Chain A
Amino acid sequence: MRYSLARLLRLLPAAYWILVVCFLVTWALCERFGQGDFLTLENFNNFIARSVALGIVAIGQTFALLVASVDLSVANLISVTVVTAPFLMQGDPALILPAMLGLLAIGVLVGLVNGLIITRLRVSPLIATLGVGLLLQGFINASFGHLPGKVAPGFQSLAYGSVGPFPAPLLLLVGVTVLAMAVLHLTRFGAHLYGVGGNAEVARLSGIHTGRVMIGAHMMSACAAVISGIFLVSRLGSAAPWVGTESAYDLQSIAVAVMGGTTLSGGRGAIGTTLACVLVFSLIDLLFNQMGIDSFLKQVLRGMIVIVAVASYAVRERRAVA
């Protein structure tokens, strides 16, 4: 009996089981103690909108983690996007597309700089991206208030609109997820990511340009942060320079990715499990909101869940860590 249960559990990665358990617990508690129904469309939409920003950053972060790197600059990059977007748009609907392309170009550039500092200057990824993050923060500090502008009228439909029965945030999240999965599993670049992360030296000797792969991973991570920033600014409707760092998207995205089974030492990880853990965090948010419990306790629970989840992987595998 026990044997078959263990086999059943192993059918899916642990992250999905955590999600299922969290969902059932939240459902039960909300039905019993919460205010109002739990399984409503409104709750679902709210739940998705809550997951989009962190979800997209975490998908990007997974790319960086896969090559045994890490990206601490994403939170500041989100803030940069949020501050710059209204300035580029100037309230003109015709400028929405050019502004988005411009923002993505910023993302590509930041990813390139991160990657070059890591590969050319041989600075450890943690310090390199922390430093670039601080540089971006300096830019925000210096420029906030000097970059007037406002978002275009139609722009907020990205956060509040819908296509047919589907809300736009859901489509955005699904779109980015599918795209990331396609890059990871269908392209040569995706295979190289796993190769470089698994063993950079072997990958290099097999003829992979490890430096380029590293730079590419950081570009993906930075672009994901920019997309997340674009979503946030369309949700907020105005420049809020603290939005990226306030929610600690840098550390949170690392936490959910690692919770989802992506290793910090590279070479192992997936998009789906990362996303499952983002949804777990959103479920906890939802639960605490519905039950009307102090939000600070939610943080305590989040911290513990991260540790317990990662410990469950690590203890099972018995690998040495630092």
Chain B
Amino acid sequence: MSALSDAAGQPARLAMLLRAMSGVLVLLCLFAAIVFFDPNFLHPGPMMAFVKRSTPLMILAMGQLFVIVTGGFDLSVGAIVSFTVLSSALLLNGDAAGTWWVVPLVLALGAMLGTINGLVVSRLRVPSIIATLGMMISINGAGLYWSGGSARGYLPDAYRVLGRGNLPAIGPISGVPVAMLVLLAVVLGASWLMHRASFGKMLLAVGDNARAAELAGVPVNRVRTLSFMLSGLSAGIAGVLLGGFSGPSTGVGAGLEMQAISATVIGGAQLVGGRGSVAMALAGSLTLQALFTLLNLIGLPKPLRDAVQGAILIAAVAYSALRETRKH
């Protein structure tokens, strides 16, 4: 981003900072409200539990971000999460010795399904909504067919420790979830790809104007395919973590694609592409998760959860859209 903001001058950087601040402010208010209702929340235990719960969504949002900045969507991630959990349980069936090859295998599977999405979008020129929707329907069917309609198999502790386990205590620091290490690795990788490597610039260029990017020498098809591959991989990782966190079930990924898109959009990514950052996608997912936590605390768990997610989604996008119009 640095080259762009330098060219636009100091105000652009200031505006970006302000935009980031307003997002963080909402998040801080939510945390303050949570602490108000549950003073214990600030203690390491509940805090770490919160992080553990939010990790899969944060990882999915980062994956979705790669696709959204190119102007596409990935509706298949929820189905890939479910498929990952189901296939892990079927392949392992309680055998801890297989963990070392099953985890890389299901991650590769996620990346492969993402690549198929990417190829269908970039080579066959199918709109991404339809391509990933077809993948979602197919993968859901395939997963249920393979497992016989309900979750079968059993995930051994060696596998589940990734999603629900804690690291051994190091001195005074204890209770750090293993998932946090995974999250850290994904954040570092995603930030590097998005904001340091030339790949991130190409993504933004493709999202902004694919034709112009192509004329400037960006391998548009390859960049698109890679973005879907990364999204599929993120779904694989989130699937391994969720399988560990909540055990095998068929509906584990249902609706996650919309949550991931919501988180990314609340984090300021533009659906037409060309804008978005890893930090804001993370803030968006934390906002969503903090909101769910808060509703739980107030005693409005499931009923209002959907409604509030809908309202905040519209409000966040309307807010940024109205600000855009005022500026012009």
Contacts and interface: CB of A to CB of B under 8 A. Distances in A.
Given A122-B321, A130-B313, A296 B271 contact: no
A321 B126 contact: yes
A258 B130 CA distance: 8
A322 B124 contact: no
B307 to A, nearest CB: 2
A202 interface: no
A19 B165 CA distance: 52
A199 interface: no
Given A123-B317, A296-B145, A307 B134 contact: yes
B125 A138 contact: no
Q: Is the interface of A mostly helix, strand, loop or mixed?
A: helix
A245 B10 CA distance: 48
Contacts of B310: 130-135, 137-138
A57 B201 CA distance: 41
Given A142-B303, A300-B141, A300-B145, A314 B134 contact: no
B205 to A, nearest CB: 13
Interface string A296-315: 11111111101100110011
A36 to B, nearest CB: 25
Interface stretch (B26-34, B68-76, B170-178, B186-194): B68-76
B68 to A, nearest CB: 10
A264 B138 contact: no
Contacts of B258: 130
Interface size class of B (residues with CB under 8 A): 35 or more
Given A264-B130, A303-B135, A315-B124, A127 B304 contact: no
B130 A306 contact: yes
Contacts of B130: 254-255, 258, 264, 306-307, 310
A251 B75 contact: yes
Contact of A310 (B127, B307, B308): B127
A130 B271 CA distance: 13
Nearest to A317: B125
Contacts of B314: 117, 121, 123, 127-128, 131-132
Given A307-B120, A322-B127, A141 B141 contact: no
Contacts of B322: 121-122
Given A296-B141, A320-B210, 12 more contacts: A123-B317, A126-B73, A130-B261, A130-B313, A132-B314, A135-B311, A141-B303, A296-B145, A299-B144, A302-B137, A307-B120, A322-B210
- The 7 A-B pairs at the shortest CB distance, nearest first, are namely A138-B307, A299-B141, A134-B310, A303-B138, A303-B137, A296-B145, A121-B318
